[in-house]
A and B are shown apart, each in its own frame.
Chain A
């Protein structure tokens, strides 16, 4: 069940973000087994997916749409470098606009409307109250650069990867809700370069296999995977740029406040071939759920405990859980009958 975009919530300061019952039900719980195993876990993102699920459409628009767009606006005003596009990525940005507008207007006709008259396009975003007419492919006819223009209208971060020499390069994107990575730092990097900090996976050959798979993705055949971490407070913008704002919060978790402070942060990552530019769109749609809300589902609660308990040390470090991992495991134990 999908609920309509609703009131404005915050992802900073007073953290008024909450999930409705429906949002909890459709949360993409990422652990298929009790033991967390590292894997590429890529699968076809066949559209439309199950009705109401986060996989139903290419771009998932949910009750947090207005809040996330307002948060994105705050981040971009603080630091415009959270959105960038190298000059050779212009065609890819327009591919992204085409893909987003075409699918969103078809998937959410009550929220978005698109009329095409040759290269004259008329776009209406009824949620953000936008009504724009522009010439497709001509960036001078948009109110701001194409990456930012469309990026301000979709939930989740977007990276556009240029494909050349059998590799992928992070040459454009809008990244305002990252799980501790920086677009400005990673800009221009190759696939293995920007995955440099990931522990264990390089040795396992995960990235060689993933790269071969990703560079061969055809048009109109997107694939997806889930990634996860934990975040203290419902903070969308956990970026290196703003680390001073949130780094210390990792030490604020106590046995008393785990349930409301610690959030499971799940990224629905979708890779979709951009038709004209041959770039690959990498969308990272982030979902946050508090431990209190998560344990309302008994199966999730039990599994969450087992996965956390068995998490390898390098991953605890890499995901930044060191300060509160044990507190969380102890708190979750009461939901696992084995204990």
Chain B
């Protein structure tokens, strides 16, 4: 894993909303790779007791790779990563990141793009917008936020986008009526959502009610692994036993024990970490495996999933 990481220097840190902090990264010894709109990077943070790894959308213009931008929301129930970024990381620090990958690219053949951002979910769209302008793509941005906590960049977005920009500040009682938004969808339009699970679910449910095909609804949610009960992982090859405490994910426990598992999004989406299960029953929490694969119990995604049984024997 470490071989494929890119060191970056924190060139600037600034608050862009009450609970959102923006970081600019520049190259240390190798140029930053170009990236496409909607890409994310995994950022590695060396904490005092453990290493945190979180995926963040790149929010800078893909045409400018002199630096990368990410924005981090201080999570109310942080598992350590966002607190670390907010309290420990300072200008001049060096962090390691994985090269950009994209699980949320715009569907460029769409006639129109409806972007729906919730809070810090504005970040992937910050990389979409300059690219859409360059390609003369037709789009609308609907930005839902709570000004007491989030709502980063709304002034600049409002000025830059004009009548393509719609904002909804729920701290001032402004609601986005998803039904109205989707009912007016023009033929050939695609919808993109980035935000909390509740927003994604609301749009998906409303789309289903209106008979909108699921294929034109795209969403990205990096759900942090949720805690659960503690269990033990056994490695089939060596018999090694690794304890997974209630707060850590299986992937994190494996990594702490020095076991390398390929991974990318760390949020149950990309499928890189799929691992075979020899014994025990997994508790699937991912958005990647099919229902049949989950039911078979023969594989698990250790980035978010856990165990129903007290122990799980992995094919590692």
Contact = CB atoms under 8 A, between A and B. Distances in A.
Which of A98, A216, A220 has most B Cβ within 10 Å? A216
Interface in A273-322: 273-278
Contacts of A219: 33-35, 39, 99-101
Interface in A152-192: 163-165
A157 B53 CA distance: 38
Which of A165, A274, A278 has most B Cβ within 10 Å? A278
Given A275-B100, A276-B35, A276-B62, 5 more contacts: A164-B108, A216-B272, A218-B100, A219-B39, A276-B36
B4 interface: yes
B188 interface: no
Interface string B20-51: 00000000000001111111000000000000
A195 interface: no
A21 interface: no
B264 interface: yes
Contacts of B264: 216, 218
Contacts of A212: 271, 288
B33 A275 contact: yes
Interface in A193-236: 212-213, 216-221
A156 B4 CA distance: 27
Contacts of A334: none
B291 interface: no
B215 A163 contact: no
B177 interface: no
Nearest to A98: B34
B98 A218 contact: yes
Contacts of B243: none
B271 A278 contact: no
B102 interface: yes
B103 interface: yes
Enumerate the 4 nearest inter-chain pairs by beta-carbon distance, A residue then B residue, closest first: A275-B34, A218-B101, A278-B36, A278-B105
A88 interface: yes
Interface string B72-101: 000000000000000000000000001111
A273 B36 CA distance: 10
A108 to B, nearest CB: 20
Contacts of B102: 163, 278
Interface in A105-159: none
Interface of B: 4, 33-39, 62, 98-103, 105, 107-109, 215, 264, 270-272, 288
Contact of A216 (B4, B35, B37, B271): B271
Contacts of B62: 276
Contacts of B99: 218-221
Contacts of A213: 271
| Chain A contact surface mostly | loop
B97 to A, nearest CB: 11
A95 B37 CA distance: 14
10 contacts: A88-B108, A88-B109, A165-B107, A216-B103, A218-B99, A218-B264, A219-B33, A221-B4, A274-B36, A276-B34
Contacts of B37: 278
Nearest to B218: A165
A274 B107 CA distance: 16
A85 B36 CA distance: 19
Which of B36, B100, B109 has most A Cβ within 10 Å? B36
Contacts of B271: 212-213, 216
B101 A164 contact: no
A63 to B, nearest CB: 32
A212 to B, nearest CB: 5
Contacts of A164: 105, 107-109
Contacts of A220: 33, 99
B163 to A, nearest CB: 26
Nearest to B104: A278
B106 to A, nearest CB: 9
A163 B109 contact: no
A273 B98 CA distance: 14
A88 B106 CA distance: 12
Contacts of A275: 33-36, 100
Contacts of A88: 108-109
Contacts of B98: 218
A273 B105 CA distance: 13
B288 to A, nearest CB: 8
A187 to B, nearest CB: 15
Interface string A77-121: 000000000001000000100100000000000000000000000
Contact of B36 (A216, A217, A221, A277): A277
A220 to B, nearest CB: 5
Contacts of A165: 107, 215
Contacts of A218: 98-101, 264
A212 B35 CA distance: 20
Nearest to B103: A216
